[in-house]
A and B are shown apart, each in its own frame.
Chain A
């Protein structure tokens, strides 16, 4: 059962990723990314991390993707021109991607982590639930937690400065 779920979710994640890269229309790329994110949430559930899976669906597939859909609808989903400024880009990019995968596979195989081949240790029922993550966030990782909240605030201010409409002056 677990293997069936894993392969279904892995197929969804990989198909979504390839869809993001292959679709000519950015709107369809966003939709493919939503499929990818939902499949990843299933994988997170299989790894018994319920809170990350919920955050993935609510924050990513919900909020962030709505932002993408709004911007794609705002700027218009113009198709990419077939004109190639860099000769051989279509050929070279997949080759570099495959080379990167081979390199990562070699790195994983050579890491000699014995636990990689196992299912991981037995965990109790509360592993990765909101209580455990919240305890870690507010006890052990309080400073990174506060720093990430400041980062979010700075990003919001930066987006308003970048995209905001200026009333006077020539600079639109």
Chain B
């Protein structure tokens, strides 16, 4: 398969993730859609690394995985904190920081 196919699939997945973030209101699902976008980026990184024939892009993908794990930990911690304070788990109702 030529590398083009992987890049097209990656941009399709990225657009799907962005659409989910715009569409959904539950913070858990928004975090899941962020995962989709990060994984689409990972797929593009690995595909480009194969295209160049050099493993350095795969190290980038590994670092993206680490950052994604950190984001999940902090995001889920925030969700648990929101739940503990008996606030609604809906990004449209959490408007305290709105200017």
Instruction: Determine if A97 and B76 form an interchain contact, defined as CB atoms under 8 angstroms apart.
Output: no
| Known contacts A47-B50, A162-B77: A119-B28 contact under CB 8 Å | no
Give Cα A152 to B56, complex, Å: 21
List, in ascending order, chain A residues with CB within 8 A of B32's CB.
Answer: 20, 26, 29-30, 33, 68
Instruction: Determine if B83 and A148 form an interchain contact, defined as CB atoms under 8 angstroms apart.
Output: no
Count residues on chain A whose CB falls below 8 Å from chain B CBs: 87
Complex interface bits, B39-64 against A, C-beta within 8 A gives 1, otherwise 0? 10011001101111101101101110
Instruction: Determine if A67 and B11 form an interchain contact, defined as CB atoms under 8 angstroms apart.
Output: no
Instruction: Determine if B76 and A155 form an interchain contact, defined as CB atoms under 8 angstroms apart.
Output: no
Give Cα A137 to B66, complex, Å: 13
Which of A52, A105, A108, A151 has a CB less than 8 Å from the CB of B58? A52
Q: Which residues of B contact A (CB under 8 A)?
A: 1-9, 11-20, 22-26, 28-29, 31-33, 35-36, 39, 42-43, 46-47, 49-53, 55-56, 58-59, 61-63, 65-74, 76-81, 83-85, 89-90, 92
Can you list 17 A-B contacts with CB-CB less than 8 angstroms, sorted by A residue number? A10-B9, A17-B17, A20-B33, A21-B20, A33-B36, A51-B58, A68-B32, A80-B25, A85-B92, A101-B15, A108-B11, A120-B3, A132-B55, A152-B66, A163-B76, A163-B80, A165-B84
